[in-house]
Structure 1
Amino acid sequence: MIVEQYFEDYEVGFERRTFGRTITESDIIIHAGQTGDHFPHHMDAEWCATQDFGQRIAHGTLVFSVGIGMTASTINPRAMSYGYDRLRFIRPVFINDTITVTARIAEKRDHPKRAGHGILVEAIEVTNQRQETVMVCEHLYLVERRTAAAAA
């Protein structure tokens, strides 16, 4: 879906939530192959059984990639991803855990060098099926303004 929104159209506090997505063993194997991360935490069920977490865990980068992808439900030609801040993996995600993502507009601010754009900060929280937070980050968007901001 295409939705054109300018910086001025966004409101702090607006929140959206995704449907769930179950992380599978195949997801972990494919991600390991794509990234080269074959550490035993992800690939060795026998070794993991001897550790505190007791079973294989999904790569943090897999949870991040899938979680952010789950929020990409619309295309806004007036905005683009500007990066990510404060990324933290809070709890492990296991095979067959189902993750859901909440994205909330946490902040709007001027861009320090581009008067025709603003920065939108979206607080991302990924939870598992038990409503436990497994990952958080801030997704920054560069968003076109209808009217350029006044010089400071």
Structure 2
Amino acid sequence: MIVEQFFEDYTIGFARKTLGRTITETDIVIHAGQTGDFFPHHMDAEWCATQEFKQRIAHGTLIFSIGIGMTAGSINPRAMSSGYDRLRFIRPVFIGDTIRVSATISEKRDHPKRTTHGVVLEKIEVFNQRDETVMACEHIYIVERRSGV
């Protein structure tokens, strides 16, 4: 879906929320294969049974990838992602946990070099099925101004 929004159209406090997605063993195995991260925390159930959490945990980068993907329901041709800041993996996510995401516009400011664009920050929070925050970051957008000034 295409949703055209200019910088002026973004409202601080506007929030989008996703439905849930359950993290599976297959998710973890595929992510390990794609990234080369085969650390025992993710892959070795017997070793994990001797550790603090007693079970395998999902890669933080997996939760980041899936969480951001869950928010990508529309395309805004007036905006471009410039990256992510303040990425934190707050709690572990286990096989069978269901995550959901909240994305809230938290800040708008002038672009430091391009008067035709502004910067929009979106606070991303990923929650598990117990409403505990498991990951958080800021998504940075560069957004075209309607006036082009």
TM-score (norm 2): 0.99
The equivalent of 2:146 in structure 1 is: 146
**Structure 1 stretches lacking a partner, 5+ long:** none
Q: Which SS does the other structure have where 2:102 is aligned? A: strand
Alignment of 1:1-152 (within 5 A): 1-149=1-149
Tell me how far 1:106 sits from its aligned partner.
0.2
Amino acid at match of 2:99: I
Shift of 1:13: 0.3
Q: State the Cα distance separating 1:130 from its structure 2 match.
A: 0.4
Identical-pair percentage: 77
Stretches of 4+ moved more than 4 A in 1? none
Point out where structure 2 has 5 or more consecutive residues left out of the alignment: none
* 1:148 positional shift: 3.2
Q: Deviations over 1:81-123 (max 9, x none)?
A: 1100000000000001000000000000110001011110000
Considering only aligned residues, what root-mean-square deviation do their CA atoms show, in Å?
0.6
Amino acid at match of 2:15: E
Compute the displacement of 1:58 (Å): 0.2
Secondary structure class of the residue paired with 1:76: coil
How many residue pairs match? The answer is 149
